[in-house]
Amino acid sequence: MTTNQLSGAEAMVRLLEAHGVRHVFGLCGDTSLPFYDAFQRIGGRMRHILSRDERSAAYMADAYARVTGKVGVCEGPSGGGATYILPGVVEANESSIPVLAITTDVATSSRGRFALTELDQEALFRPLAKWTRVIDRAAKLPRYVRAAFTQMTTGRPGAAHLSFPFDVQKEPVDEAEIWADAVLGTYPARRLGPDPAAVAEAAALLKRARRPVFICGGGVVIAGAEAELQALAEALGAVVATTVSGQGAIAETHPLAIGVVGSNGGTVETREAVEAADLVMFVGCRAGSVTTERWRHPAPGRSKIVHVDVDPATIGVNYRTDAAVAGDAKLALAALVETVAGHKTGNDPRAKLADLKARKRARFEELARSTEAPIRPERLIATLQSVLPEDAVVVADPGTPCPYFSAYYETRRTGRHFITNRAHGALGYAMSAAVGAQVGRPGAKVVAVMGDGSFGFTCGEMETVVRLKLPITFVVVSNAAFGWIKAGQKYGFGERYFSVDFDRTDHARVAEAFGLKAWKVEDPNALESVLRRAVGTDGPTLIDVISQPLHEARAPVSEWIA
């Protein structure tokens, strides 16, 4: 009996399609030629999006996965391509976002012979991805692709990597092996429920608490557990705080929501809410250094700790835990809601929270109304809030934009409407990630906000945006410095500034050269009208905002405030 055969490259294309992949972000190279040829011939409903840098391709796949709930796929060639794609892979993995990176490689027959671009890709990716394999024989390809999707979307989601040698792309694969469970193309797949005994133990502590506070990480949004979280908080009269990555777990207009806590975006008011708790429940949150201000807030031993996480190894690492609930956040919170049903809580923190939020808002609005130039970051945030629709997606780089958006830009809907790379905080994320967000959510208005330092990392992707006719609005917070580092030198090193300043670029003219419609804004009173024009334009736009330097501002960063 004869069987039909495909080449390895054709098999890869078919397997991606079988897993529901519709977009692949990547950059061409010599070792990718068979793969590209197969994609061109039999790619079907899939669309390949050419980026100008492998880092950008990975960041695009990351944001695409965040807004769609599907696996993001990126690809690149061997050698430099494999090393360039790494930052996006580690960011996605540490953020629990399923991204598949496929890097092609030199032929297996060329190994150890000083072949151009040869390197040990599996060793390179092993510490940075959840799972990695070299496909050294085409017969293994279907099994490895299916395993990659299983690893990415089950348990704690994460990134996977496949190395795809040139000769393996040409080897035959039995067509009968081309099958997939399409459920594994979305996440979280194959959810795991919590132990009922653990749920009962946690529920007993929650019902006894008089001042419970929930601190919610990105795991809540990833699991789609927003409704269950709100139901539990309302049943217990619990204050709900989020990490930067957890924004969208609850609408920040909800009377029980206090906003972002921690050293990046937290304020004295949000810290006060955490310190008042007699029980803190971490949900889908690793209780890391930023969220807890280096494990000081909540203060160890001051309150009971309940920890809910899909990864059992996360629980109890940073705080002694009184109740541990291992399982998918949606299922775990639903079980807790059911267990506390009928409980009559005496907790009503809404009046206290309203006072805290009013104090926080008043301090912000004082600066947001400023007519001083350079333009204050608070003025920019307030103006964007008034201009953007509620369903807009804001992608922010981790430098100057992140603390301001986290503290003051009010997320009025649940779900993924704010994206920033908080796992490792590499600059140059927002411009590229915005492409993935716009491709994944074409009906939404996508805005990317970055410092001028970040702009210099990936400005070549403006060509990609123009080529794809994406109506993204880019906002450059222009202060001619690596502002975060300069502020750190001010507050921690006696204002001994060193190698952090650079010359100002006319970002609007650069954008116009790429084909974007662009404006430069120096007058705070002109900011709103320009932003409205940019956001309302049917095509890519950029606003270069001449801004107050971060080291002169009052950023919501606890170490600088102190």
Band (1; pLDDT cuts 50, 70, 90) = very low
Same domain, 159 and 306: no
Q: DSSP states of 287-334 as a string?
A: --TTTTTTTTSSPTTTSEEEEEES-GGGTTSSS--SEEEES-HHHHHH
Same domain, 380 and 259: no
pLDDT of residue 2: 47
Q: What is the mean pLDDT of residues 443-449?
A: 98
Q: What is the mean pLDDT of residues 512-516?
A: 98
- Separation between Cα atoms, residue 323 and residue 316, nearest integer Å: 9
pLDDT of residue 558: 83
Same domain, 262 and 399: no
Number of Cβ within a 10 Å radius of residue 278: 13
Percent of the chain with pLDDT over 90: 95
Tell whether 364 is covered by a domain. no
Same domain, 380 and 515: yes
Same domain, 217 and 268: yes
Nearest Cα residue to 297 out of 260, 326, 322 = 260
Tell whether 358 is covered by a domain. no
Query: Residue 504 sits in which domain range?
Result: 369-561
Same domain, 132 and 242: no
The long-range contacts involving 511-514, CB below 8 angstroms and separated by at least 24 positions, are 511/462, 511/474, 511/542, 511/544, 514/459, 514/462, 514/463, 514/465, 514/466
Whichever domain contains 336, its CATH number is: 3.40.50.1220
Total structural domains within the chain: 3
Could you read off the pLDDT of 201-220 as tens digits, one per residue? 999 999 999 999 999 999 99
Tell whether 359 is covered by a domain. no
Tell whether 360 is covered by a domain. no
Whichever domain contains 406, its CATH number is: 3.40.50.970
- Separation between Cα atoms, residue 47 and residue 60, nearest integer Å: 14
Q: What is the overall mean pLDDT for the chain?
A: 96
> Looking at the chain, how many residues does it have?
562
Q: Is the distance from CB of 496 to CB of 489 less than 8 angstroms? A: yes
Sole residue written with tokens 């068979």: 34
pLDDT of residue 561: 74
Q: Work out the burial of residue 466: count CB atoms within 10 Å of its CB; fewer than 13 is exposed, 13-18 middle, 19 or more buried.
A: middle
Tell whether 213 is covered by a domain. yes
Could you read off the pLDDT of 368-404 as tens digits, one per residue? 999 999 999 999 999 999 999 999 999 999 888 999 9
pTM as predicted: 0.97
Could you read off the pLDDT of 400-442 as tens digits, one per residue? 899 999 999 999 999 999 999 989 989 999 999 999 999 999 9
Band (562; pLDDT cuts 50, 70, 90) = low
Tell whether 357 is covered by a domain. no
Residues 6 or more apart whose CB falls under 8 angstroms from that of 551 comprise 481, 483, 486, 487, 489, 490
Last residue of some domain: 185, 204, 237? 185
Q: Is the distance from CB of 474 to CB of 521 less than 8 angstroms? A: no
Could you read off the pLDDT of 214-256 as tens digits, one per residue? 999 999 999 999 999 999 999 999 999 999 999 999 999 999 9
Could you read off the pLDDT of 273-304 as tens digits, one per residue? 999 999 999 999 999 999 999 999 999 999 99
Last residue of some domain: 130, 163, 185? 185
Last residue of some domain: 123, 155, 185? 185
Tell whether 362 is covered by a domain. no
pLDDT of residue 151: 98
Same domain, 278 and 209: yes
Cα–Cα distance list, 429 to 89, 426, 451, 458 (Å) = 12, 7, 11, 8
- Separation between Cα atoms, residue 258 and residue 265, nearest integer Å: 12
Tell whether 392 is covered by a domain. yes
Sole residue written with tokens 């369903």: 391
- Separation between Cα atoms, residue 97 and residue 419, nearest integer Å: 12
Could you read off the pLDDT of 137-183 as tens digits, one per residue? 999 999 999 999 999 999 999 999 999 999 999 999 999 999 999 99
Same domain, 549 and 434: yes
Same domain, 405 and 505: yes
Same domain, 443 and 301: no
Same domain, 162 and 229: no
Same domain, 231 and 373: no
Could you read off the pLDDT of 22-47 as tens digits, one per residue? 999 999 999 999 999 999 999 989 99
pLDDT of residue 560: 82
Say yes or no to pLDDT of 3 above 80. Answer: no
